[in-house]
Amino acid sequence: MQPLSSMLHIDKTDKLAVYLQLSNQLTDLIRKGVIQGGHQLLSSRQLAKALNIHRKTVVRAYDELLAQGWLESKLGSGTFVATHFPEIKPQPLQDDKNQNFDSKKVAGFSFEDKPHLHRAVLKNTAALHLDDGFPDPRFAPLEELSRAYRTQLITGNPYVKLGYGDTSGSYWLRQQLSVYLNETRGLKTSPENILVIRGTVMGLFLASTGLLKSGDNVAITDLGWASARMNFIQAGANILQIPADEHGIDVDALENICKKQSLRMLYVTSHHHYPTTVALRADRRLQLLALSEKYGFIIFEDDYDYDFHYLSRPLLPLAGADQAGMVLYCGSFTKTISPAFRVGYLVGSENVINHLSRLRRIIDRQGDNMLENAMAELLQNGIIQRHLRKSVRIYRQRRDMFCSLLKSNLSNYLDFNTPDGGMAVWAKFDKSIDLKSLSEQAMAKNLYFSDGGENNLIPDKLNGTRLGFASSTSQELEQSVEILKNLLKIK
């Protein structure tokens, strides 16, 4: 055992305690079979002298390994490697088969790497951005939110507030959401109709996992949101693509499908169709609800930016006119404040909400109680509502300016309609323009915008993308359009 000390290397400058370094290295040698079961270790005094460390440090390391079962002590004889381990043949120092294998990067077991999950995560660091339609966090009510969050942390019964809560979410927030949604969207909810979630993606996952079976048919528009499609594929659903036009989803095409095959769910963005921003016409809304009741399919209504409408009173959600209990209504505060604050809501019949709450428990025991209660306070005090009124005014001004810039500078290269609401313009570029190449060139100029590839489920159907205006100031919008103008002129 004398050579053992040469295999142990103690770094007294390391943040890890010396006794833990020693115990970890001994464990590793036992695991690799370098020292076998039943072999006697050096005495604590001998090993301490060999490693130039204190004897008590060795004793502590030995005690740690004795407690874990790696070592065993024999009274009067010394300390030995435990004998209950199977005999392990030491691995050669250079194994040609495994010398390039890195278990930190590649697992030793196989799994199915599904292609639909390969989607780039947006981490935009560009100074300028014509994004997917995000809010401007620079005038979000962050001070009010931080005060409310702090209040939640330091007041009340800490055992209750900082412990486990309701899987459905903070009851206070569900109360305030019920009032807010009933007043602004014409819904008729109670807190029991609401499940607090971390965002629309979570709502989609719960609905897909809890309400769909493998092989179920789900209808989406051929221009749509990639996250919705990913969730339905993950659930094993069969995707049916429905066209959309200037009035939203083609309800007649949907009915033709329903006549031929069963449909379990329809995903729809009725207020502002994603990505084209058009509103679903009133007659189609009525027809859609009637079809849902007739053919028995669920409507998942994603109302991602209802609060941002710049003309008259916006059309109420489908959920507000749903008398048959066929609509699941989903929204979040992502567009209200910032994507960083993960608070959303899923609204439906009580039995469905209870079912999805039980499912939510196995993937996410609960949300952030402190944040949820802070949001409830902002709703109760009208702070969110005042922020929205301010946002709508500012975003309307930015929309008008951005559309004016597009018309005066880029009308030869793209076509668009001024959106009635939302935070982005759907721009259709000339077919001769390679949007992917243009997006990459813009990024080199510190301007981010999407090439539109994720929104189009039919290759080459439309050479279009969303150009967000809400998160940029007037000066930033001018700079962004100027960069695009110069890049397109070169072509």
DSSP string for residues in 335-404: TTT-TTS--EEEE--HHHHHHHHHHHHTT-S---HHHHHHHHHHHHTTHHHHHHHHHHHHHHHHHHHHHH
Residues 232 and 283 grouped into a single domain:
yes
Residues 381 and 395 grouped into a single domain:
no
Residues 35 and 169 grouped into a single domain:
no
Exposure b/e, 343-367, CB count within 10 A at least 16 = b: bbbbbbbeebbebbbebbeeeeebb
User: What pLDDT is recorded for position 367?
Assistant: 79
User: What pLDDT is recorded for position 482?
Assistant: 94
Give pLDDT tens digits along the chain (491 positions): 457 777 888 888 888 999 999 999 999 888 888 888 888 888 889 888 988 999 999 999 999 999 998 998 888 888 999 887 766 666 555 555 566 777 778 887 777 888 877 777 666 678 899 988 898 889 888 888 889 888 888 887 777 777 778 888 899 999 999 999 999 888 999 999 999 998 899 999 999 999 999 999 999 998 888 888 999 999 999 999 999 888 889 999 999 999 999 999 999 998 888 888 888 888 899 999 999 999 999 999 999 888 888 887 778 899 988 989 999 999 998 888 888 788 899 999 999 999 999 999 888 888 788 888 889 999 999 999 999 999 999 999 999 999 999 999 999 999 999 998 889 999 999 888 988 899 999 999 999 998 887 776 565 567 889 999 999 999 999 999 999 999 988 65
Does the residue 108 lie in any domain? no
Number of domains comprising the chain: 3
Residues 345 and 249 grouped into a single domain:
yes
CATH code, 15: 1.10.10.10
Residues 338 and 240 grouped into a single domain:
yes
Last residue of a domain, one of 356, 385, 414: 385
User: What pLDDT is recorded for position 39?
Assistant: 85
Residues 328 and 179 grouped into a single domain:
yes
User: What pLDDT is recorded for position 160?
Assistant: 77
User: What pLDDT is recorded for position 490?
Assistant: 60
User: What pLDDT is recorded for position 2?
Assistant: 55
Residues 381 and 404 grouped into a single domain:
no
CATH code, 402: 3.90.1150.10
Last residue of a domain, one of 385, 405, 433: 385
Residues 310 and 211 grouped into a single domain:
yes
Residues 35 and 146 grouped into a single domain:
no
Are 37 and 72 in contact, with CB atoms under 8 Å apart?
no
Are 38 and 83 in contact, with CB atoms under 8 Å apart?
yes
Last residue of a domain, one of 351, 385, 419: 385
Place of tokens 């009032």: 179
User: What pLDDT is recorded for position 1?
Assistant: 46
Does the residue 90 lie in any domain? no
Does the residue 289 lie in any domain? yes
Residues 282 and 228 grouped into a single domain:
yes
Residue 408, domain extent: 128-133+388-490
User: What pLDDT is recorded for position 474?
Assistant: 93
